[in-house]
């Protein structure tokens, strides 16, 4: 495929450019840890790593998927070249600013990217010829989480006046921004993987479905705010129970295949990660990595595999190359366990390095065997 054709296709289907960019940023963000512990770099990479993973790796998969699926679900026009290039430039500028530790500037660029992306989707929503599933309201709320959270980070970083707002912003960006879209899209996409009818066809009262989704999202957001002023572990348990209840209501219980199994596993791990955050409030960071690695990473790779292979006309490869996905999944599970246990053992650094290497190998394997197909069109 020629560069011009690829650029044109990437505007109609932005995943073709955002998935590869996200993988590069993600690999860079995790590679920082082995480089630091081997003495190659001297700056402790915690903040850069966190920003690369939430504002780079995960956001690129969100932008790529929603930028492709959003206009189709709404029966609206696809993204333009100007929109895709501007969004890509803002994400890239944010990553570069964070790399050089200009975090206030990086968060500012990321806030701009979210606002621009939201405005592009709102414009298409107003022009829509069809309406999205009610649970997609969680997607909108997740983007709003990202905008508000990044805005709070920016305000504190530029002024130094709002450390409490910074904590809330971190929760909204690092958890809410990804968790809510996964809850909104995951069960819907799982039905697509299993060739099951949409849950909207099974639930007559769409307003009720919409209301439950919004209530779920707002309860999760309220729990982040409550944690700023109250250390009661019941807050974490309520958040976990709300997510479990929502998934129990929306996730189909029949049907199975390799991608559906991995996506189900990621949704279950979301609940486990939130539960660990409630059980072990003093170990919030390792518990959050259960959420990030076993939940978010497995979810985006499961959905990403189906999107890339489906749009390139290569779904048949799921039946012939299941081994690579299984190996990548096992490596991610090992990475999750190693990172979680690191803070409980004397060999913490070795566990962190092992977790990083497993994540890097799993992601590189997925990229090697899936991403080459972003240059191929189903109609070609």
**Comparing 2 with 148, which gets the higher pLDDT?**
148
What is the DSSP-derived secondary structure letter of residue 315?
Answer: T
CB 332 within 8 A of CB 358: yes
With respect to residue 224, please indicate whether it lies within any of the assigned structural domains. no
**Comparing 321 with 13, which gets the higher pLDDT?**
13
**Comparing 6 with 302, which gets the higher pLDDT?**
302
CA pair distance 260, 82, nearest whole angstrom:
35
CB 370 within 8 A of CB 308: yes
Residue with tokens 């956001």: 59
CA pair distance 298, 269, nearest whole angstrom:
9
With respect to residue 277, please indicate whether it lies within any of the assigned structural domains. yes
The mean pLDDT value for 342-348 works out to 93
The mean pLDDT value for 8-27 works out to 92
- Between 112-121, 188-197, 370-379, the lowest mean confidence (pLDDT) is in 188-197
Write down the mean pLDDT value for the chain. Answer: 90
- The pLDDT value recorded for residue 367 is 96
> What phi and psi values does residue 55 have, to the nearest 5 degrees?
-90, -10
Given a cut of 80, whether residue 147 has pLDDT beyond it is yes
Residue with tokens 């949409």: 198
CA pair distance 212, 183, nearest whole angstrom:
12
Place 9 in a pLDDT band, splitting at 50, 70 and 90. confident
With respect to residue 144, please indicate whether it lies within any of the assigned structural domains. no
- The pLDDT value recorded for residue 89 is 97
Domain edge (last residue) among 100, 132, 164: 132
- The pLDDT value recorded for residue 377 is 81
CB 237 within 8 A of CB 213: no
Give burial (CB, 10 Å; 0-12/13-18/19+) of 166.
Answer: middle
Tell me if residue 227 falls in helix, strand or coil.
coil
What is the DSSP-derived secondary structure letter of residue 129?
Answer: S
- The pLDDT value recorded for residue 202 is 44
CA pair distance 20, 374, nearest whole angstrom:
9
Domain edge (last residue) among 111, 132, 153: 132
Place 57 in a pLDDT band, splitting at 50, 70 and 90. very high
CA pair distance 2, 200, nearest whole angstrom:
40
With respect to residue 32, please indicate whether it lies within any of the assigned structural domains. yes
With respect to residue 181, please indicate whether it lies within any of the assigned structural domains. no
With respect to residue 102, please indicate whether it lies within any of the assigned structural domains. yes
**Comparing 129 with 65, which gets the higher pLDDT?**
65
CA pair distance 17, 7, nearest whole angstrom:
8
Per residue in 230-253, pLDDT (tens digit) is: 888 899 999 999 999 999 988 887
Given a cut of 80, whether residue 162 has pLDDT beyond it is no
CA pair distance 5, 193, nearest whole angstrom:
29
With respect to residue 57, please indicate whether it lies within any of the assigned structural domains. yes
Give burial (CB, 10 Å; 0-12/13-18/19+) of 320.
Answer: exposed
Question: Please, which residues have CB within 8 angstroms of residue 59's CB and are 6 or more apart in sequence?
Answer: 22, 91, 110, 113, 146, 177
pTM (two decimals): 0.93
Question: Please, which residues have CB within 8 angstroms of residue 98's CB and are 6 or more apart in sequence?
Answer: 47, 48, 51, 52, 55, 56, 106
Domain edge (last residue) among 78, 110, 132: 132
CB 271 within 8 A of CB 292: no
User: How many structural domains are present in the chain?
Assistant: 2
Per residue in 196-227, pLDDT (tens digit) is: 666 554 444 566 788 899 999 999 999 999 99
The mean pLDDT value for 306-327 works out to 82
Question: Please, which residues have CB within 8 angstroms of residue 39's CB and are 6 or more apart in sequence?
Answer: none
Question: Which range of residues forms the domain containing residue 357?
Answer: 257-380
With respect to residue 22, please indicate whether it lies within any of the assigned structural domains. yes
């Amino acid at each position: 495929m020629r560069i011009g054709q690829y650029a044109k296709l990437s505007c109609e289907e932005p995943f073709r450019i955002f998935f590869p960019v996200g993988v590069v940023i993600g690999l860079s963000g995790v590679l920082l840890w082995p480089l630091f512990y081997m003495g190659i770099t001297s700056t402790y990479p915690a903040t850069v790593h966190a920003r690369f993973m939430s504002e780079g790796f995960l956001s690129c998969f969100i932008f790529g998927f929603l930028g492709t699926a959003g206009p189709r679900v709404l029966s609206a026009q696809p993204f333009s070249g100007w929109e895709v290039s501007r969004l890509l430039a803002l994400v890239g500028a944010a990553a570069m600013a964070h790399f050089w530790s200009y975090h206030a500037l990086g968060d500012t660029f990321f806030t701009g990217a979210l606002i621009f992306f939201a405005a592009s989707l709102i414009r298409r929503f107003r022009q829509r010829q069809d309406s999205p599933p009610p649970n997609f309201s969680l997607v909108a709320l997740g983007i709003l989480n990202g905008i508000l959270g990044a805005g709070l980070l920016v305000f504190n970083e530029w002024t130094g006046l709002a450390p409490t707002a910074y904590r809330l912003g971190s929760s909204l960006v690092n958890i809410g921004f990804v968790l809510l879209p996964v809850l909104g899209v995951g069960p819907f996409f799982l039905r697509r993987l299993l060739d099951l009818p949409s849950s909207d066809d099974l639930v007559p009262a769409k307003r009720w479905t919409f209301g439950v989704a919004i209530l779920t999202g707002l309860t999760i957001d309220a729990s982040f705010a409550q944690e700023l002023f109250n250390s009661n572990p019941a807050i974490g348990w309520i958040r976990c129970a709300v997510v479990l209840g929502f998934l129990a209501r929306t996730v189909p219980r029949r049907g199975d295949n390799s991608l559906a199994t991995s996506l189900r596993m990621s949704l279950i791990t979301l609940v486990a990660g939130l539960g660990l955050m409630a059980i072990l409030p003093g170990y919030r960071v390792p518990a959050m990595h259960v959420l990030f690695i076993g939940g978010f990473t497995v979810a985006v790779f499961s959905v990403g595999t189906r999107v890339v292979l489906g749009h390139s006309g290569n779904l048949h490869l799921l039946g012939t190359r299941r081994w690579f996905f299984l190996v990548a999944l096992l490596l991610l599970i090992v990475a999750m366990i190693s990172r979680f246990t690191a803070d409980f053992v004397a060999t913490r650094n070795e566990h962190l390095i092992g977790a990083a290497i497993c994540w890097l190998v799993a992601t590189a394997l997925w990229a090697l065997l899936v991403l080459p197909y972003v240059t191929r069109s189903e109609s070609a």
